[in-house]
Chain A
Amino acid sequence: MSDIPQAGSPHGSERTGAATSRVRGTFDGEPLEAEAGTSVASALIATGTRSWRTTREGRSRGLFCGIGVCFDCLVEIDGESGQRACMIPLGEGMDVRSASGPRTTHDAGTGTSTGRDADGTDAA
Chain B
Amino acid sequence: MSAPLESLGQTEPRPTGPAPHFEVAVVGAGPAGLAAAASAAERGARVAVIDAAEQPGGQFWRHRSEAAGIRDDGSLHHGWKTYLDLRRRFDSGVDTSRITYLPRTSVWMAQRRPQGFTLRLSSSFGTTTGPSTVHASALVLATGGYDRQLPVPGWELPGVMAAGGIQAFIKQNGALPGSRFVVAGTGPFLLPVAANIVEAGGSVAAVCESADLSGWLPRAHRALAVPEKGLEGAEYAWTFVKHRIPYRTRTVVTEILGDSAVEAVRTARVRRDGTEVPGSARTIDGVDSVGLGWGFTPQLELPVALGARTRVDVDGSLVADVDAAQRSSVPGLYLAGELTGVGGAALAVVEGAVAGRAAALATTTGTDGSGAIATAREARTISRQRAFAEAMHLAHPLPPGWESRMRDETVVCRCEEVTAGAILGARDEMDAADSRTQKGVNRAGMGWCQGRVCGVAVACLSGSAPQAKSDDPMISLRQNANRPIAQPIPLGDLRDLVD
Interface residues of A (CB under 8 A from B): 1-18, 20-21, 35-39, 41-42, 45-46, 50-51, 55-57, 59-72, 74, 82-84, 86-89, 104-105, 108-124
Contact = CB atoms under 8 A, between A and B. Distances in A.
A75 to B, nearest CB: 11
A57 B7 CA distance: 29
B489 A119 contact: yes
Contacts of B66: 4, 6-7, 12-13, 15, 37
B491 A45 contact: no
B428 interface: no
B414 A70 contact: yes
Contact of B126 (A45, A64, A88, A120): A88
Contact of B175 (A1, A38, A108, A120): A38
A124 B439 CA distance: 10
A59 B417 contact: yes
Interface in B154-185: 156-162, 164-169, 172-175, 177-178
B491 A109 contact: yes
B417 A69 contact: no
A20 B68 contact: yes
Contact of B64 (A37, A68, A74, A116): A37
Contacts of A56: 417
A113 to B, nearest CB: 7
A71 B116 CA distance: 32
B54 interface: yes
B71 interface: yes
Given A4-B71, A21-B68, A110-B2, A66 B169 contact: yes
Interface of B: 1-3, 7-11, 52-56, 59, 63-75, 80-81, 84, 87-88, 91-92, 94-95, 101-104, 108, 124-126, 128, 146-147, 156-162, 164-169, 172-175, 177-178, 260-261, 288, 414-417, 446-450, 452-453, 482-485, 488-492, 494
Nearest 3 CB-CB pairs, A to B?
Answer: A37-B65, A66-B165, A37-B68
17 contacts: A4-B84, A5-B87, A7-B55, A8-B91, A9-B103, A11-B103, A17-B71, A20-B69, A39-B172, A42-B172, A51-B158, A62-B158, A64-B414, A65-B147, A66-B165, A88-B126, A89-B54
A110 B92 contact: no
A76 to B, nearest CB: 13
Contacts of B74: 1-2
Given A5-B84, A71-B488, A116-B490, A59 B448 contact: no
Given A63-B169, A104-B415, A116 B488 contact: no
B93 to A, nearest CB: 9
B183 to A, nearest CB: 14
Given A36-B65, A104-B415, A59 B3 contact: no
A112 B10 CA distance: 10
B173 to A, nearest CB: 4
Nearest to B124: A87
Which one of A16, A51, A110, A115 has the highest number of Cβ atoms from chain B below 10 Å of its Cβ?
A115
Nearest to B54: A89
A119 B174 CA distance: 33
A19 B78 CA distance: 26
A119 B53 CA distance: 20
Contacts of B166: 66
Contact of A2 (B59, B84, B125, B169): B84
A2 B75 CA distance: 10
A71 B415 contact: yes
B35 to A, nearest CB: 16
A19 to B, nearest CB: 9
Given A4-B87, A60-B261, A121 B447 contact: yes
Contacts of B75: 1
B452 A70 contact: yes
A74 B108 CA distance: 19
A52 B494 CA distance: 29
Given A60-B158, A124-B450, A124-B485, A5 B88 contact: yes
B69 A18 contact: yes
Contacts of B71: 3-4, 17
B49 to A, nearest CB: 9
A111 B146 contact: no
Contacts of B102: 11
B492 A115 contact: yes
Which one of A57, A110, A119 has the highest number of Cβ atoms from chain B below 10 Å of its Cβ?
A119
Contacts of A38: 65, 68, 172-175
Given A4-B63, A70-B453, A104-B415, A9 B101 contact: yes
Nearest to A59: B156
B201 to A, nearest CB: 13
A50 B54 contact: no
A7 B92 CA distance: 10
Contacts of A62: 158-159, 261
Which one of A16, A45, A69, A113 has the highest number of Cβ atoms from chain B below 10 Å of its Cβ?
A69
Contacts of B490: 115-119
A37 B99 CA distance: 25
A118 B415 contact: no
A57 to B, nearest CB: 5
A123 to B, nearest CB: 5
Given A38-B65, A88-B125, A124-B484, A65 B416 contact: no
Contacts of A35: 68, 70, 174
